[in-house]
Structure 1
Amino acid sequence: MAIASSNTKYMCTIAASVLATLSISKGVLAEEKTNDKIEVIQIFGSKNDLKTATGSGAVLTEEQLELYEFDDIHRVLQSVPGVYIREEDGYGLRPNIGLRGATSERSSKIALMEDGVLLSPAPYSAPAAYFFPLVSRMTAVEVFKGPAAIKYGPNTVGGAINMVSRPINESQSPSKGQIDFSAGQQDYRKLHAYYSDTLEHLGDDIGYLVEGINLHTDGFKTLASGDSTGFAKNELLGKLSYSPKNSRYNQYYELKVGYADEVSNETYLGLSDADFKQNPYLRYPASANDKFDWEHFQIQLSHYAELSPNLTLFTQAYRRDFNRDWDRLNGFAGNRSIETVLRSPDTGLNALFFQVLNGERDSLTNDEALEFTLNDRTFFSQGIQSKLFYDLQVNNFDVSLEAGFRIHQDQVERLHRARYFNMVNAELVFSGRPEVVLLSNKDKTTAIASYIDAKLQADMLTLNAGLRAEHIEGQANDFLSESTLTTTANNSDTVVLPGIGAFYQINDTFGLLAGVNKGFVPNSPGQNDDIDPEESWNYELGARASGNNWNAEAIAFYFDYSNLKGTCTFSSGCTSDLNQEFNGGEVIIQGVEFSANADLDLSKTLSVPLSLAYTFTESEFQNDFRSEFSQWGNISAGDELPYLPENQLNIQVGLQAQHWQVAMNIKHSSEMLEAAGSGTDLSGLSTESLLQIDVSGWYQIQAATRIYIKIDNLSDETQIVSRRPFGARPGKPQQLIVGIKYEF
């Protein structure tokens, strides 16, 4: 796609709020200079480029995000085919997202980004998404699968998700800011406000944005003490931009600074199946002290320069710091596992331990004491990345070349300490036993990555070919080694990942697409030499059709893993060998994605927007093996992967007029295995199939004021959405929320 032509001059900007669109859209933003202002247009968000994309992708626009006013990224993504979710806390605080079969555990197998920058606390050393920004302040969410993933890394198996933060308002924008307040059941409260403007100073443009959001709820679970089981989250964001008037290279600078924090009274302890049937929202007294709190800081500097009409460069330097403490129940002081107790709470010694969990009996022995761990972890992620775009015409071919380079470093320091409490009269009482350090280590990774992507467009044919190369150096330091000296383990990996995609437009309505890419997930630092990286060859073949008021897409995908990996974490149900990775050998994942959208006009002022997304998925291990990984166990060839539903369906239907709109979102997901093989506590068990209905509506009182109402889980369905980490867990119950927005 040309940056310049004989008729139109294009420009692109790296505003950090939309740079990710540059970095994970198809390469370049369409840009246009008007009245010396840089107008940012997300190219992958445009109808035309989605129509001719060589791979599968989806963009959820600001209008779509505001329709249902979801605060939970799980609910936001349910309308995108090929996305898999494992619920945990009902609010998506620590999301579990997978793409096309990539393990959903803590979203650790996909590339997560905000404004084009990796957002996980330590994307290489510890990619689990214990931090996730509030989707309420985003203006777009982009999902990419297939060959497009090779540009982003380090994980290129399933795909990439990028969240686009609010851009700085241009000076001619009629609206500079907004205040959004809502309240509802479960003592839900949200206050969200922003203000932005661009001023002219001595001919130069200086823009700024200030944004803040507070989200609070008392939670939907109940403790006998009456204490809150909810959370409070805050985010503050500031942006400052500078665009010099007489810049030779039409430059643009932007500084982005952000702070966020959370305190949540969340637990890994669930319920026995019997107690779930009686009261799914119960919390056992053993979890009364559980609390998770974190702080997150980010700073990002972006620079764009148009070196020539056909050559553009943008660069981002970034640093993110994340500090978290999770004080929570980890297990019994003895060897009895919580999961074993919850699976058979009425048999033998399990019955005695279960009575301690639910407060019916006091702790009488040291083995019945409850171990609480303060899991203190400190992360940083920093780096610099730069991308060049070059566009030219060769005969009748439009050729676009994109080359990128990134130097990245991240680190996690862990200090896990155990304290012991006794259950006394259904309350937790400190036992007086000395604190024990369970884990003290530091993992650090340095990675150098580069890629080149070429796009050729001629008449009805579009071709994309890319190549990613990455060298990764990891170091693990164990400060609790048996020799009392620090044990250091080093590992390195170099990988080259190709990908190619094609789209052929048969006519104005119909086209075909195909693609293949090499998938890769690196080992985290300190893994044994016999642990292989996750690798796969990923194929897709599909068709796309569109008309004036409708579009549809069907894509078949086939993932051929030479090695699938599992990682032992608390959230996956492990209590020992934390952060250890396991080989799963050869695995096949295949399926079909279908999506369709239409806007039916009932009259000049009334329309019916419709959308449908369906995913069918099958999976099979190809080998027999025994694994200590809690989600696998003893595997026989033909066993299916856990937490991968066979069928997923999402239907959205609405009624829209000029000043109001109502909408309904219907989600169905079939049951999911809790464990793949035999020999684990959860072998043979499945989650329950899910039917979830959300409704929303808004009314424009006047040009600047809108009121809205939403009901999540309209039918108040209650299903077991997961038995991990420890015990049966429900989704969020029915919740009514009413809000008002005022623009100024």
Structure 2
Amino acid sequence: MSTLLRTAIALALLPAAPAFAATATAAATATSTAETPAEANESLVRLDRVNVFGSRAEVEKTAGSAHYIDQATLERFNFRDVNRVLRQVPGVYIVEEEGFGLRPNIGIRGSGTDRNNRITVMEDGVLIAPAPYAAPAAYYFPTMARMHAVEIKKGSASVQAGPRTTGGALNLLSTPVPTETAGELDLAMGSNGSFLGHGWVGTSGENFSGLIEGTRQQTDGFKQLDGGGDTGYELNDFVAKLRWTSSPSAARYQQVDLKLGRNTQDSDETYLGLTEDDYAATPFRRYAGSALDNIQTRHKLYELRHLIELSDSVDLTTVAYRTEFQRNWYKLNDVQGVSISSILANPATYASQYAWISGEDSPANALRLRNNNRSYYAQGIQSVMGIGFATGEASHDLEIGLRVHRDQEDRFQDDDRYQMLGGELVLTSDGAPGTQTNRVGDAEALALYVQDTIEWGNWVITPGVRYEQIDLTRTNYSTATGLRDVVLSRVETDVDALIPGIGATYLVGDNLAVFASVHRGFNPPGPGSNADPEESVNTEFGLRYGTDALSAELVGFVNDYSNLVGTCTASTGGNCTIGDQFDGGEARIQGIEASLGYDFGTNGPVGIPFALSYTWTDAEFRSSFSSSFEEWDDVASGDQVPYLPEQLLHASIGLQGERWRLDLAGNYVGEMRTTAGQGSIPAGQRIDSVLLWDLAVGLKVSERLELYGRVENLSDETYVTARRPAGLRPGLPRTTVLGLRYTF
């Protein structure tokens, strides 16, 4: 650990010490309007140190493109899949995986779509990936059913969150503590034995308030396993919140929040897709070789937050947090040393291996299943001090802070060998824990941040700078016995990065704003990586217009990479070592984002809301090189970056009466490459375009009870979501859900 980092940790642990400005309380907009007594509202508005865009006025002042999906918008379709929620936001790219959104692959402005490892993901303003510095591609994502709102930041606004600023930041806002006794119960059932049970209840007193919340999700799955069996999942999620607020007569307003969470998941999911011919014949088939594939996870969250108004112009928000995550994905890895991706790509070449995963009898020890057993933790303290002051006619809102953070990924994996007999897997060799991979990756980080929001006449100027100092260590232990008594190697890396950014917004009038921003994009390497940090210069220019019935935004962006980095993960597949990173050299990703919202029924008896968002993207490498990263291979300058469609389109229209609603949404995803290249896309490297429709209805039986339904993939399109990590993966077929929501 560096001397600078040790000193910072000591300072951060002192009482009232400032600690990072970027993400103090993203939930504070929700809390400022829904969680606190009226006497505290004005204080909390100043205490909110993350721009949560709950009003058009705030969006208009933002120096960069930003989107806020509120509770009313989320409830229109009642999606429990974050992929479907984010489709409506321009500049956000999604690669589906298992059809339920449990392990989303999200990118922003071409940042990459593998396990969200190129964006910053937060819940209530706090980093939520199990190891956000050491292993951001880990397999946990917050449960969408309990989210109150969603915030997406792009452009220079994303520098505020960090550490990953190449694309943007995604912040999920959980259910707020109510201002009075209240609650909700949501029950739904649907296709393939799916069930959702979600409920919360909370109360508020003069000084104490709280909330408890629980979610249960399950389904049998939509894939048909050879020989029978479930292909779905079970998920349980529990959250408790306790709040203390000072009395209205207190000299300084204070608030303390305790948040505890626990999430468990048991999912019969696999990385084994299908060959071209098998997908064409039976797209929802699962081979017998994946019968034992299963992932079990456990996530725990501890968070303590303190807000204090030191004076009329100075406030301080401090958050201490810790998350713990354990996972074991037991799944087919290879057959007689041939990777499953190679088998499915070349079933004729590997005819015997293909026959064995399809259920034909095999030799003993032919099929290798891996215990991908890993554990993670992340902990830290972050704080932001806000200072309001004026210089002449300009008003300032200065944020100063620091984050001290530590996280770890611990891999302790082994391999078991099986024989296929009579269409079933029979264990023939049981591996000892730690004999396949036995290593630990550690990250310690210090993040400093300063940003000033300057309002001067019609101008809003936001200069800011971020400093990241990261110590990375990877320790490799001997796999001979699975013990940790022999260290084979230890690789230590120090990364320092200064990340400046500036944005400006000019308010042309009451309805029109023009904005522009430029910032440095940065993505740190992982522990033990030989790759350089991912770096870029990101610029944008746009305008937004809004009236009571109309809102519109048009943005152009260019992300100019001096070094694009690829990361080998189990979800990308290929014959590479998990965790290895690859330098991709220069690349340029540019595009146009457009969004439009209008209510044709304004002032009429029936509302007719209409929304449209469009993204055009041009993403290409600007240098030539050869890489062992499978998605890149031999790259020539001008090749298109894979898994980035050129065209994305979302449109929705609804009818809303006093007690009923009907909504229809369409999502178009253009064709995309799975391997870098240019010109026409070879069939084996192409994912075809698809147009998906979703329908939702709602009927309010009373003021408290609503009946609702939705149909996802209304036209029952059969489509491929990805060719990674092994074979073709199908999207969710037509799925019907019926439910009721009771509020009190």
Same fold (TM over 0.5): yes
SS at match of 1:225: coil
Query: Could you list the per-position Cα deviations for residues 541-561 of structure 1 after superposition, in whole angstroms to 9, with x for gaps in the alignment?
Result: 111112221010000000110
Structure 2 vs 1, CA of residues 35 and 101 (structure 1 numbering), >3 Å: closer, same or farther? closer
| 2:228 paired residue among 219, 226, 245 | 226
Contact 1:675 1:682 in 2 (8 A): no
Letter in 1 for 2:275: S
Whether 1:126 aligns to 2:135 is yes
Whether 1:160 aligns to 2:169 is yes
Distance in 2 between residues matched to 1:113 and 1:505, nearest whole Å:
30
SS at match of 1:36: helix
SS at match of 1:94: coil
Letter in 2 for 1:225: G
Structure 2 vs 1, CA of residues 25 and 314 (structure 1 numbering), >3 Å: closer, same or farther? closer
| 2:238 paired residue among 216, 236, 239 | 236
Structure 2 vs 1, CA of residues 739 and 32 (structure 1 numbering), >3 Å: closer, same or farther? closer
Letter in 1 for 2:300: F
Contact 1:518 1:536 in 2 (8 A): yes
Letter in 2 for 1:152: A
SS at match of 1:308: coil
Report what 2:313 is aligned to. 310
Distance in 1 between residues matched to 2:494 and 2:31, nearest whole Å:
32
Structure 2 vs 1, CA of residues 156 and 43 (structure 1 numbering), >3 Å: closer, same or farther? closer
Distance in 1 between residues matched to 2:326 and 2:178, nearest whole Å:
32
Distance in 2 between residues matched to 1:509 and 1:702, nearest whole Å:
37
Structure 2 vs 1, CA of residues 33 and 140 (structure 1 numbering), >3 Å: closer, same or farther? closer
Report what 2:460 is aligned to. 462
Q: CA shift at 1:62, angstroms?
A: 0.7
Q: CA shift at 1:168, angstroms?
A: 0.8
SS at match of 2:351: helix
Whether 1:102 aligns to 2:108 is no
Distance in 2 between residues matched to 1:594 and 1:579, nearest whole Å:
36
Contact 1:674 1:682 in 2 (8 A): no
Contact 2:565 2:584 in 1 (8 A): yes
Report what 2:593 is aligned to. 593
Give the total of aligned pairs.
709
| 1:44 paired residue among 46, 50, 53 | 53
Structure 2 vs 1, CA of residues 342 and 34 (structure 1 numbering), >3 Å: closer, same or farther? closer
Contact 2:23 2:160 in 1 (8 A): no
Report what 1:363 is aligned to. 362
SS at match of 1:274: helix
| 2:526 paired residue among 491, 499, 524 | 524
Structure 2 vs 1, CA of residues 66 and 520 (structure 1 numbering), >3 Å: closer, same or farther? same
Query: Could you list the per-position Cα deviations for residues 270-291 of structure 1 after superposition, in whole angstroms to 9, with x for gaps in the alignment?
Result: 0001111111110000000000
Range that drifts further, 647-656 or 429-438: 429-438
- Which TM-score applies when normalising by structure 2? 0.92
Structure 2 vs 1, CA of residues 742 and 634 (structure 1 numbering), >3 Å: closer, same or farther? same
Report what 2:198 is aligned to. 192
Structure 2 vs 1, CA of residues 352 and 193 (structure 1 numbering), >3 Å: closer, same or farther? same
| 2:386 paired residue among 386, 389, 394 | 389
Letter in 2 for 1:354: Y
Distance in 1 between residues matched to 2:714 and 2:603, nearest whole Å:
29
- Which TM-score applies when normalising by structure 1? 0.92
Whether 1:300 aligns to 2:306 is no
Query: Could you list the per-position Cα deviations for residues 348-403 of structure 1 after superposition, in whole angstroms to 9, with x for gaps in the alignment?
Result: 4x2222111111x211375xx11100011010000000001111222221211111
Letter in 2 for 1:383: G
Q: CA shift at 1:340, angstroms?
A: 2.3
Distance in 2 between residues matched to 1:31 and 1:185, nearest whole Å:
35
Distance in 2 between residues matched to 1:670 and 1:299, nearest whole Å:
41
Contact 1:111 1:154 in 2 (8 A): yes
Q: CA shift at 1:337, angstroms?
A: 2.5
Distance in 2 between residues matched to 1:429 and 1:682, nearest whole Å:
39
Report what 1:75 is aligned to. 84
Report what 1:328 is aligned to. 331
Distance in 1 between residues matched to 2:213 and 2:372, nearest whole Å:
31
Query: Could you list the per-position Cα deviations for residues 240-281 of structure 1 after superposition, in whole angstroms to 9, with x for gaps in the alignment?
Result: 000121433210111000111000000000000111111111
Structure 2 vs 1, CA of residues 333 and 708 (structure 1 numbering), >3 Å: closer, same or farther? same
SS at match of 1:50: helix
Contact 2:596 2:611 in 1 (8 A): yes
Structure 2 vs 1, CA of residues 28 and 735 (structure 1 numbering), >3 Å: closer, same or farther? closer
| 2:184 paired residue among 171, 178, 187 | 178
Letter in 1 for 2:627: S
Q: CA shift at 1:724, angstroms?
A: 0.8
Letter in 1 for 2:202: S
Contact 1:663 1:696 in 2 (8 A): yes
Q: CA shift at 1:504, angstroms?
A: 1.1
Distance in 1 between residues matched to 2:30 and 2:692, nearest whole Å:
36
Letter in 2 for 1:659: R
Whether 1:492 aligns to 2:486 is no
Whether 1:290 aligns to 2:296 is no
SS at match of 1:160: strand
Aligned counterparts, 1:200-215, within 5 A: 200=206, 205-215=207-217
SS at match of 1:595: strand
Distance in 1 between residues matched to 2:422 and 2:36, nearest whole Å:
71
Q: CA shift at 1:622, angstroms?
A: 1.0
Distance in 2 between residues matched to 1:525 and 1:326, nearest whole Å:
22
Q: CA shift at 1:610, angstroms?
A: 0.7
Distance in 1 between residues matched to 2:77 and 2:650, nearest whole Å:
14
Query: Could you list the per-position Cα deviations for residues 287-342 of structure 1 after superposition, in whole angstroms to 9, with x for gaps in the alignment?
Result: 000000010000100000000000110100000000001110011132x2322221
Contact 1:611 1:652 in 2 (8 A): yes
Distance in 2 between residues matched to 1:575 and 1:710, nearest whole Å:
41
Distance in 2 between residues matched to 1:721 and 1:194, nearest whole Å:
34
Distance in 2 between residues matched to 1:621 and 1:481, nearest whole Å:
39
SS at match of 1:67: helix
Structure 2 vs 1, CA of residues 29 and 104 (structure 1 numbering), >3 Å: closer, same or farther? farther
Query: Could you list the per-position Cα deviations for residues 389-431 of structure 1 after superposition, in whole angstroms to 9, with x for gaps in the alignment?
Result: 1112222212111112100000010012100111111111112
Aligned counterparts, 1:394-433, within 5 A: 394-432=391-429
Query: Could you list the per-position Cα deviations for residues 159-193 of structure 1 after superposition, in whole angstroms to 9, with x for gaps in the alignment?
Result: 1000001111113xxx6001110001110101111
Query: Could you list the per-position Cα deviations for residues 552-575 of structure 1 after superposition, in whole angstroms to 9, with x for gaps in the alignment?
Result: 000000011000001111100135
Distance in 2 between residues matched to 1:561 and 1:435, nearest whole Å:
44
Query: Could you list the per-position Cα deviations for residues 225-244 of structure 1 after superposition, in whole angstroms to 9, with x for gaps in the alignment?
Result: 32110001110000000012
Where in structure 2 are there 5+ consecutive unaligned residues?
A: 1-21, 46-50
Distance in 1 between residues matched to 2:467 and 2:551, nearest whole Å:
36
Distance in 1 between residues matched to 2:712 and 2:515, nearest whole Å:
36
Structure 2 vs 1, CA of residues 143 and 402 (structure 1 numbering), >3 Å: closer, same or farther? same
Distance in 2 between residues matched to 1:457 and 1:308, nearest whole Å:
21
Letter in 2 for 1:78: R
Distance in 2 between residues matched to 1:400 and 1:538, nearest whole Å:
24
Q: CA shift at 1:22, angstroms?
A: 4.1
Q: CA shift at 1:590, angstroms?
A: 0.4
Q: CA shift at 1:509, angstroms?
A: 2.8
Letter in 1 for 2:203: D
Distance in 2 between residues matched to 1:415 and 1:376, nearest whole Å:
6
Structure 2 vs 1, CA of residues 740 and 425 (structure 1 numbering), >3 Å: closer, same or farther? same
Report what 1:169 is aligned to. 178
Query: Could you list the per-position Cα deviations for residues 6-44 of structure 1 after superposition, in whole angstroms to 9, with x for gaps in the alignment?
Result: xxxxxxxxxxxxx96845999997999965354766852
Whether 1:654 aligns to 2:651 is no
Q: CA shift at 1:606, angstroms?
A: 0.6
Report what 2:152 is aligned to. 143
Letter in 2 for 1:711: V
